[in-house]
Amino acid sequence: MSLKDKRVLITAGPTRVPIDDVRVISNTATAATGFILAKKFKDAGAKVTLVHGVPCDCSLKCRVKVLRFKFFDELNQIITRQLKSGKVDVFIQTAAVSDYKPSLIRRGKISSADKELKLTLVPTVKIIDRVKKLSPDLFLVGFKFEPQALRAALIKEARSLISKSKADLVVANTKSGNKYRAYIVSAKKT
């Protein structure tokens, strides 16, 4: 498949969910994979839009359209708008999307004088599960990270994600110590 003039939407980096007006729950994603993919797709002739979370310690050395978000809800809105526009041929979700959010976001700042803070977390919507519903004809690539997972478990998780999201490919990746491993799992069992 030629990538010339294909419209590619890539998400990258961490997502945040607010606890109060000051504090957030986040993750340690760096956006590095998304930035590398954006450059490679741009070099192959694609029209790339990169949607990334902040903060991000990557510098983009290629010319692509960049959309930034701070919070999960912003990412969800951006993706929904982009997909509803009908102008996406390939969607690659490398962003480490929050699976949970606080059931209640406190106004102001929670006092640090409180002896204890209990949070009730509820699931966020699974963005990747909505992609094909919003844009059924695009090519969807998901990423599934499981730390210290064995190959068989990773492949099983990737197949589960393919089944739920209707992804065309899933990159199942893991890290053990300083060693990364990734497996590309296709929806087509070939």
Do the domain assignments include residue 123?
yes
* CATH code for the domain in which residue 40 is found: 3.40.50.10300
Tell me the per-residue pLDDT of 120-173, one tens digit each, with 9 for 90 and over: 999 999 999 999 999 999 999 999 999 888 899 999 999 999 999 999 999 999
Residue holding tokens 């960049």? 66
Do the domain assignments include residue 83?
yes
Range in 19-23, 151-155, 163-167, 174-178 with the lowest mean pLDDT: 174-178
Let me know: does 104 contact 22? Beta carbons within 8 Å. Answer: no
**What pLDDT, on the 0 to 100 scale, is given for residue 63?**
81
Question: And the tokens for 144?
Answer: 């599934």
Residues in contact with 152: Cβ distance below 8 Å, sequence separation at least 6, in sequence order? none
Residue 97 confidence (pLDDT) above 90: yes
Cα separation of 137 and 30, whole Å?
Answer: 29
52 φ/ψ angles, rounded to the nearest 5 degrees: -135, 150
Do the domain assignments include residue 189?
no
Domain that holds residue 77: 7-101+119-178
How far is residue 1 CA from its own chain's centroid?
Answer: 24
Is the bond leading into 123 cis (omega within 30 degrees of zero)? no
Do the domain assignments include residue 111?
no
Percent of the chain residues topping a pLDDT of 90: 82
Residue 189 confidence (pLDDT) above 80: no
Do the domain assignments include residue 130?
yes
Percent of the chain residues topping a pLDDT of 70: 94
Could you write out the three-class secondary structure of 122-174? EECCCHHHHHHHHCCCCEEEEEEECCCCCHHHHHHHHHHHHHHHCCCEEEEEE
Do the domain assignments include residue 86?
yes
pTM listed for this prediction = 0.92
Do the domain assignments include residue 106?
no
Band the pLDDT of 117: cuts 50, 70, 90. Answer: very high
Mean predicted lDDT score pLDDT of the chain: 92
Do the domain assignments include residue 167?
yes
What does the pLDDT average to over 12-32?
94
**What pLDDT, on the 0 to 100 scale, is given for residue 56?**
62
Domain count, the chain: 1
Question: And the tokens for 185?
Answer: 């799992």
How far is residue 85 CA from its own chain's centroid?
Answer: 19
Question: And the tokens for 76?
Answer: 């969800």
